[in-house]
Structure 1
Amino acid sequence: MDNLTHGLFGLAIGALRPPDARPGGPERASPTDRAVLVASVLAAELPDLDTLLARGDAVTVALQAHRGLSHALVSAPLVALIATLAARALFRGARWTPVFLTSLASVVFAHLLPDLWTGWGTRVLLPFSDTRLSLDWTMVVDPWVTLPLLAGAVVAWRRRAAWRRALLVGFACSAAYVGLRVATWATLTQRVEATYASAEAVRVFPLPFSVGTWRYVATLPGGVFAAGDVPLAGPPVEARREPASEDVLPEDLRAVPTVREALAWARFPRVRLEPLPEGGWSIRIADLRYHLRGEPTLAFVIHLDADNTVRHAELERGGSPGELLRRWRGQGTAP
């Protein structure tokens, strides 16, 4: 998820802990109460510092450096410890145990879990497994996850006597929306599976700018991908059917670490290999799970020299947000 949503989730998780009883009413928060809220927000944000420390080409930064070891379950206690130490330095006298435990819950449930339920996924099992796991319930940026949390935070700021209730109501609304997405994902997956009874695998993915329509990719016998959209009401609508193209790359090109990382990211790869005029190769690796009407919108483009050294690498997003919106509405044609 985006950093705003991570932080708001962390704030809400901090509010789950009942405040200490204090003379003068709930507005007189104890040092522990304040430290818990601050540490929860910090713990929810700290894993993404790997973005600032990342080095390398665009593929390495996007796929390997970011959502790396700082996003692993084994690192959660360390992240919680750092957040706890920072919060206790700000609020002297805060009790160690509630601050640390709430921080740990914030790392797991405000950062790792939201990253896991997006389509992009994360590698929570590092260093034991490099597999990128994804539940495919929401996009990385989903306003219907964020807005209830943001509204709760705004109300909590303006009506401080009811700050905890406001945060918890926002959290409940956001959680209910995610629960609805899970139920929708399961229902639509069954519908696509019924349509493609011979499919070896079926996956359903969230569609940008849409709540009522999702994307799907079915892997058919012979390594053929069928991609399309499936609405809440109605049958799946297939937009494209094409064979898997990963095998167009010879083994020496597939062994290049940057290329290997992009191939590991693409669950339903569309690979294009072209020679460069000055020598070397241009490799374009897209993934059909990110498609609009069958045309991929995300692709990693890697230029290799004749000795297979990476000359240039970038992430293509299929156009500007306005162009993608026009394509989604059917006002433009796919390239």
Structure 2
Amino acid sequence: MDNLTHGLLGWAVGALRRPDVAPDSPERASPTDRAVLVASVLAAELPDLDTLLARGDAVTVALHAHRGLSHSLFFAPVVALAATLIARACFRGARWQPVLLTSLASVLFAHLLPDLWTGWGTRVLLPFSDARLSLDWTVVVDPWVTLPLVIGAGVAWRKRALWRKAVLVGFACSMAYVGARVAVWGALTRRVAQAYPQAEAVRVFPAPLSFSAWRYVARLPGSTLAAGDVTLLGAPREARQVSAPEEALPEDLRDVPTVREALAWARFPVVTVKPVGPDREVHIADLRYHLRGEPTLTFVVRVGPTGAVEDARLERGGSASELLRRWRGEPRAE
């Protein structure tokens, strides 16, 4: 998820703890109360500091450097401890236990879980497994997850005596929306599976700014991928079938670390290799990001004759006008 959502979720996790001093009390909040809230927000934001340390080409940074060890269950206590130390340094006299426990809950439920429920996914099992896991419930930036949290924060700012109730109501509305998406995801997954009884695997993915319309990919026998759209009110509509044999990529290109990283990310890869002078350009798209069956997100890696990466970039399917034209189903411009 985006950093605004992470921070607001962290604040809500901190507000779940009953404060030592009631919000409507004329007394000032205790050091522990203030430290809990500050530490919860910090713990929800600190894992994304890995973006400041990222090094390498565009593909490696996007897929490997970010959402690395700082986003793992193994490292969560370290993040919580760092947030606790900072908060206690700001508020002397704050008690260790409530601040540390709330910080740990914030790392888990305000950062790792929201990243896990997006379509992009995260590697929560590092360093024991490099697998990128995803629940595919929302896109990375979903305004309907964030908006109730923002409204709750706004009410809390204007009505200080009701701040905790406002934050928790916004949090409850946001989580109810996520819960509804989980139910829709399950129902549509079953519907697509029924439409493709021969499929080896079926997956439904969120579409931007949409609650009822989702994308799907079905892996069919013979290394064929079927991509389309499905809504709450209709049957799956297939847009395209693609032949995607795993052996399409030469072994020497598979051994290039940047290419290997992109292949590990792509759950339904469509791979093409194009000669560019003496170099070869590897295009690795993933059909889970498609618009009417055409990939909208592709990692492009240019490999030189010696196997060195000459260039690596992420292509997002064209300009905004091009994506709009494809969404309308208009023919390609020649």
TM-score normalised by L of structure 1: 0.96
- Root-mean-square deviation over aligned CA pairs: 1.6
Matches within 5 A, 1:100-119: 100-119=100-119
Letter in 1 for 2:227: A
CA distance in 2, matches of 1:315, 1:22: 50
How many residues end up aligned between the 2 structures?
334
CA displacement at 1:320 relative to structure 2: 3.6
Task: Please give the residue correspondences for 1:23-34 in structure 2 after superposition, counting only pairs within 5 Å.
Answer: 25=25, 28-34=28-34
Alignment of 1:59-138 (within 5 A): 59-138=59-138
Is contact 2:72–2:126 with CA below 8 Å preserved after alignment? yes
Distance in structure 1 (CA, Å) of the matches to 2:331 and 2:76: 44
C-alpha distance in 2 between matches for 1:94 and 1:210: 44
Q: Deviations over 1:244-301 (max 9, x none)?
A: 1442211011000000000011111111101112x11111100000001000000000
Deviation at 1:331, TM superposition (A): 5.7
> Which deviates more, 65-74 or 317-326?
317-326
Q: Deviations over 1:172-225 (max 9, x none)?
A: 000000000000000000000000011111000001122110000001111110
- Identity within the alignment, %: 73
Distance 2:72 2:265 in 1: 17
Whether the 8 Å contact between 1:144 and 1:177 is mirrored in structure 2 is yes
> Residue 74 of structure 1: SS of its match in structure 2?
coil
Mean Cα deviation higher: 178-187 or 315-324: 315-324
Aligned positions of 1:186-265 closer than 5 A: 186-265=186-265
Letter in 1 for 2:312: A
CA contact (8 A) 1:280 1:308 kept: no
TM alignment of 1:251-330, pairs within 5 A: 251-277=251-277, 279-321=278-320, 323-330=322-329
The whole-number CA distance in structure 1 between the counterparts of 2:166 and 2:321 is: 34
Q: Which runs of 5+ in 1 are unaligned?
A: none
CA distance in 1, matches of 2:148, 2:26: 23
CA distance in 1, matches of 2:5, 2:111: 9
- C-alpha change, 1:157 and 1:329, in structure 2 (3 Å) is farther
Structure 2 unaligned regions, length at least 5:
none
Is this contact kept in 1: 2:21–2:27, CA < 8 A? no
Of 176-185 and 321-330, the range deviating more from structure 2 = 321-330
Residue 242 (structure 1) shift: 1.2
- The answer to whether the 8 A contact 1:11-1:40 is kept is yes
Distance 2:145 2:190 in 1: 24
Partner of 2:149: 149
Alpha-carbon offset, residue 321 of structure 1? 4.3
